[in-house]
Every structure is written in C-alpha cells, then in structure tokens.
Amino acid sequence: MTAGSASFLAGAFMPVSRVYVERERQRKLEILLANPVQWRAQTVLLGAGTIVLPAGVAVLAGEWDRGRAGGEQERLAGRRLAQAGAVLLAGGAAVFPVDLAARFTDPEGFALGRQPEWPFYGYVWVSLAGMAALGGALLQRSRTHAGFPRWPGWLNLGGAATFAGVLASTGDLPPLSIYCIELATGIALVLRGGQRQPSGDTGQPPPLK
C-alpha cells in the first residue's frame, strides 16, 4: 500500500502536473509538448501506483487473522470487507490504465479534451467504494486485534464520503487525494507491524491451568 501510494504521488507531484489546473486548452498542449518525457514518466508512475495499491490491500486481507483477539464472526466480517476493498481497488486499477494509455500515446488529445472521460470517472468512483470498504475493514480490525488504531478506518471512511461528495457536486476530484489517505494508512500499518507482538501472542492473557 505504501509503495503504491508513494509511486502515484511521486508522479502526481511532478512539475508537468500543472497541466491539470490549466484551463486554457492550447496552453495545456504547450505544457505537454514542452515536457514529453516528463509526461510519459508521470503516466508510468501513476499506472504503477494504481496497480500496486490493491495488491497491498490483498496482502492485508490475506494476513487478516494474525494477532487476532476477537470472535470468528467479527474476523470473518473484517476479512470480507478487506477482500471487497482489494477487489474494488483492483477494478479501478483495471479501468484507469485505459485513460493513462490514451494520455501516453496521444497527449494532444488529452490537452484538447478529445479523449473519453468514462475511464477516469469509473476509476475514481470504484476506487472510492474500495476505500470505503477498506475503512470498514480497518475499523473491524481494531475490534479484533489488540492495540490496533481506529483512526485509519475512520480516515478511509470519512475520506471516501467526503471525496464522493466533492466528485458528485463538482464533477472532478484529484486522484492524489485518495493516495494521500492510503499512504497514511499504509504507514500506520507498517508501524503497527513493527510493534507486533511475538508470534503466538494474541494480546490476551494466557488461559488458566
């Protein structure tokens, strides 16, 4: 998760990204024609981040029962939500490369608004659904894993709801918003992993003999 988010954000913050806030189409084209290598490098970084993020969530779902402290039903619910998050994010990752490939091969079409918008909107909406599912999974994990923080779950749920509102009302949302949330989430999980108790210790007192 951390690597995927970092890759996407590295691309998103490249200088050529000023093309996204430029309103004049001809000026957009000038920016892209002046920075062809940077533009192509950016699309590669964005694509890599989009693909790696759901893989990280899938790994999280696969390790769901480690360090468990809750009941079977609670663990199962959390794991299924994490799996749903991975599937939805992967669905978005399957759509966005269509948009990125068009940007890579036809920067002029992107600048002049000749490329279809459905791949981008499909990617963002599906990714927000995956983000919400991941948030629910992380909240469930905080109930079944001793010492697991609740804020990553609320951050994902709140972020998904807020971003969906922005997208619905304005028709636009910078995808980097999603990856900022997931970078913070990934860092929290890495730090939590570093503090994980020794194998076999679930955080519960030993049974009475």
Q: Tell me the pLDDT tens digit for each residue of 178-188.
A: 999 999 999 99
Q: Tell me the pLDDT tens digit for each residue of 95-108.
A: 999 999 999 999 99
Q: Whole-prediction pTM value?
A: 0.86
As a whole number of angstroms, the distance between CA 125 and CA 191 comes to 29
- The chain-wide mean pLDDT, for the chain, equals 88
User: Is the CA virtual torsion 26, 41, 86, 174 positive or negative?
Assistant: negative
Task: Give pLDDT, residue 187.
Answer: 94
As a whole number of angstroms, the distance between CA 68 and CA 73 comes to 12
Span 86-97, average pLDDT: 94
User: Is the CA virtual torsion 23, 29, 35, 37 positive or negative?
Assistant: positive
User: How far from each other are the two terminal CA atoms of the chain, in whole angstroms?
Assistant: 42
Task: Give pLDDT, residue 147.
Answer: 80
The token pair that represents 206 in the structure block: 């030993």
Task: Give pLDDT, residue 148.
Answer: 84
What lies within 8 Å, CB to CB, of 56 at 6+ separation is 1, 2, 3, 4, 186
As a whole number of angstroms, the distance between CA 94 and CA 154 comes to 26
Which has the closest alpha carbon to 92: 114, 113, 118? 118
Contact criterion met (CB below 8 Å) for 119 and 90: no
How many whole angstroms from its chain centre is CA 205?
A: 36
